[in-house]
Amino acid sequence: MKIIAQSLPNIPWEDRPSGSSELLWRYSKNPIIKRDEAKGSNSIFNSAVVPFNEKFAGVFRVDDRQRRMNIRRGFSEDGINWKIDDEPINFIQETKDPVESEYKYDPRVVFIEDRYWITWCNGYHGPTIGVGYTYDFEKFYQIENAFLPFNRNGVLFPRKINGKYAMLSRPSDNGHTPFGDIFYSESPDMVHWGVHRYVMGAGYTPWQSLKIGAGPVPIETEEGWLLFYHGVLLSCNGYVYSFGAALLDLDKPWKVIKRSKEYLLSPQMNYECVGDVPNVVFPVAALVDGSTGKLAIYYGGADTVVALAFGYVQEIVDWLKYEN
Ligand code: BMA
């Protein structure tokens, strides 16, 4: 099977532990970023990384000790050890009138054509999808919000589809939304979004029964777009966030080819179960080595730390197609 991704020989990696048959296995030195590794941070989690200049760059969700939510830039030689800025990213406004941004959280980053696009949950009279870009991780520009409030988990596809930019998102409410389905929208210019299509909803199997939301930028394969997504279950102790995967049609990504009945990762380790919000694994970024199909997923643990898990794209696609 062909994976449409650049080769990334320096992808962070650890082999599957001997005796394990897990499709995704955790990095043995998780969490890779602890809660206090940036200046004044209460927590660092749900963060996005990309290959950059033979190394890595990232946009990190850093909540400070006032518990203000914002995003900061970071760089890394190896994708594992990170140096995160002392201050939030200062976006240059590229709008008629500056877009309010009461808070920013849960960023995604993707390279399309000539620049790195960043989407995040932007506080504008409630959460909606903020959009910005950078060419060099030095200057950052903010454009219009993609949608009206309330919306979360805005995730761009890594290329135009049928000539249009494409984004998944999850309409929501102003609180700790007890519902949520994934929708698809397209845009000619990254500003005007429309032609909305329903992709898939909560339900299907218990781990994803309350709500779902797109995770990392979808990965292009011959068999379809491989999408990792989080799913939430309501227990007597509150929400439990796990994640699984789906395969979406390449030309019509709102058509779901396969969807995982089982989760791929659920909160089980201490750093996933104990923290500011217990029982959360929340995938936000994926690195892929196009030549070997190695996959490294960055996910937030318990809304407190950043962790890594590894796998092979091919194995997950085969599992979705034949075993699931
Ligand atoms: C969601 C977002 C995520 C968070 C999750 C669990 O609504 O706020 O950032 O990881 O809840 O608290």
Residue 96 in this model has a pLDDT that exceeds 90: no
Mean pLDDT over 156-170 rounds to 98
As a whole-number percent, the residues of the chain with pLDDT over 70 amount to: 100
What pLDDT shows up at residue 118? 98
Residue 124 in this model has a pLDDT that exceeds 90: yes
Q: Which atom of ligand 1 is nearest to the CA of 106?
A: 9
Residue 1 in this model has a pLDDT that exceeds 90: no
**106 touches ligand 1 (CB under 6 Å):** yes
321 Cα: distance to centroid of ligand 1 (angstroms): 30
Mean pLDDT over 258-283 rounds to 98
**299 touches ligand 1 (CB under 6 Å):** no
**277 touches ligand 1 (CB under 6 Å):** yes
Residue 52 in this model has a pLDDT that exceeds 90: yes
Helix (H) or strand (E) segment spanning residue 317: helix 313-318
Residue 95 in this model has a pLDDT that exceeds 90: no
Q: Are 216 and 228 in contact (CB under 8 A)?
A: yes
Domain ranges of the chain: 33-323
**300 touches ligand 1 (CB under 6 Å):** yes
Q: Where are the beta strands (DSSP E) in 124-259?
A: 127-134, 140-142, 151-156, 165-171, 182-187, 194-200, 211-214, 219-221, 224-235, 238-248, 256-259
What pLDDT shows up at residue 206? 98
Q: How far apart are the first and last CA of the chain?
A: 18
pLDDT band, very low/low/confident/very high, at 103 (cuts 50, 70, 90): very high
Residue 111 in this model has a pLDDT that exceeds 90: yes
Report the topology of domain 33-323. Answer: Tachylectin-2; Chain A (2.115.10)
**105 touches ligand 1 (CB under 6 Å):** yes
What pLDDT shows up at residue 246? 98
